Structure formats: C-alpha cells, structure tokens
Chain A
Amino acid sequence: EDQVTQSPEALRLQEGESSSLNCSYTVSGLRGLFWYRQDPGKGPEFLFTLYSAGEEKEKERLKATLTKKESFLHITAPKPEDSATYLCAVGGNNRLAFGKGNQVVVIP
C-alpha cells in the first residue's frame, strides 16, 4: 500500500523566516508527486508536479525538490499570505495517495 507522511504537521514562522516542509513516501514505481496549497474552506490548489529524483520546480517563494524517498517544499522569506495547509500526493502503480498536510502559519 502506498504511504505518504508529511512533517511537521504544523509550523509557525515569522515573516521572512525560511523553512522546509517534508513529504516522505513509500510507493511502488513513482509516476508523479504533487504539491497542493489549501486555504481554509477551499479546495486544494495545484502547485507542482515532480516526476523524477533530482527534479526541482519553483514558483515565487516556493521551491519543490524530489529524491527517491522524499520531497521538500522550501518556503523562502515567507509572507503572511503564504499561510495555508500544503498537501503532498504521490501516484505510483495504484491510485493517488494523499498525505495529511503541513499547516503553515506565517506571523507578521
């Protein structure tokens, strides 16, 4: 069974304090790893797809990286508007498996 573990569950950051979120996975034959942002009461918003180890994607203050066992979402110099829950999902030989999310709060 594919498994996705995200850590830390919750993170409080000062504005400008860079940090990283971790998504560890166990999957048979990784075919895609996805990061989403979810605001309270809203649906997940697609951020990135990563397909192979060593791949990196960037969008504004966010950078996603991938190894054979985990992915990191780096948040550089975060702003209060980066406060959200970040979801990781992996697709292998089975259907997409989601982690429980990293809840990020950025304090002004």
Chain B
Amino acid sequence: DGGITQSPKYLFRKEGQNVTLSCEQNLNHDAMYWYRQDPGQGLRLIYYSQIVNDFQKGDIAEGYSVSREKKESFPLTVTSAQKNPTAFYLCASSIMDRVEQPQHFGDGTRLSIL
C-alpha cells in the first residue's frame, strides 16, 4: 500500500537536545511538507520541498531544519533553538507543489518535553 510513514509515533526531548523526526513516502510524490499542529490552531507550515535537494522555509521555520537527499525521505530536526517544541508534527506529500493538488498526510509524531 502506498502511503506516508512517520516515526516515531511519540518522542521526548530533553533540554538542549536536538531530535529528528522521520518521514518516508512511497507515493512517488515530488513535493513534501512539514506542519505543526497545536490544540485550537490550524496546521502551520514549517518547511516544504518541491524537489530533491531543494527546500524552502514555511511560516514557522525558526528552530527547525530539514534535508531532502532522497525523493522518498524528508526528515525534520527540532533543534534546541525551538523553545516551545511540544506539538503534533505532521508530514505530508503531494504529486507536485501546486495548491490545486491535494496533500496526503502521515499519522504524525507527538513531541513532548521531558
């Protein structure tokens, strides 16, 4: 079955620690996205990638970093510079980076602070 796999499902971060969230897709999609979901708020875009070896900052990129070395993979690192990292993180992909194309989501990673 084609889809998007996010891991781990739950992640805990200590003070001063960087953590990396994994996102893998086998849909052969060019575009991939990272969103943050907080209670009572709409999804907010962190980073997006239109194609391999290219990525762009979204609305709330500070304290996060990404890489796109393979078409299938778009890992997100939450750095120690992100002072309020507790949230539900969602990875998505679409055939191409056009707003007419629906985005398809993984099942998320919930990040908490120890």
Q: Which residues of A contact B (CB under 8 A)?
A: 4, 31-32, 34, 36, 41-46, 49, 51, 87, 89, 91-92, 95-101
Minimum C-beta distance from B109 to chain A (A): 10
Cα A101 to Cα B39 in complex, Å, equals 10
Residue of A nearest to B100 (CB): A32
> Is B40 located at the chain interface by the 8 A CB criterion?
yes
**When chains A and B are docked, how far (Å) is the Cα of A106 from the Cα of B4?**
29
Does B58 lie at the interface of the complex (its beta carbon under 8 Å from any beta carbon of A)? Answer: yes
**What residues on B are CB-neighbors of A99 within 8 Å?**
42
Q: Is B114 located at the chain interface by the 8 A CB criterion?
A: no
Q: Does B45 contact A (CB under 8 A)?
A: yes
On B, residues with C-beta under 8 Å from A are 4, 6, 40-43, 45, 48, 58-59, 90, 92, 98-108, 110
* Cβ–Cβ contact A96 & B40, under 8 A: no
Residues of B within 8 A of A51 (CB): 100
Cross-interface CB contact of A45 among B41, B45, B105, B110, cutoff 8 Å = B105
When A95-B45, A97-B42 are in contact, do A41 and B103 touch as well, CB less than 8 Å? no
Q: State how many angstroms separate the Cβ of B50 from the closest Cβ of chain A.
A: 12
* 27 residue pairs from A and B, CB less than 8 Å apart: A31-B98, A32-B100, A32-B101, A34-B103, A36-B105, A42-B107, A43-B107, A43-B108, A44-B90, A44-B105, A46-B103, A46-B104, A46-B105, A51-B100, A87-B43, A89-B43, A91-B100, A95-B48, A95-B58, A95-B99, A96-B99, A96-B103, A97-B42, A98-B42, A98-B43, A99-B42, A100-B40
CA–CA, A79 to B101, complex, Å? 30
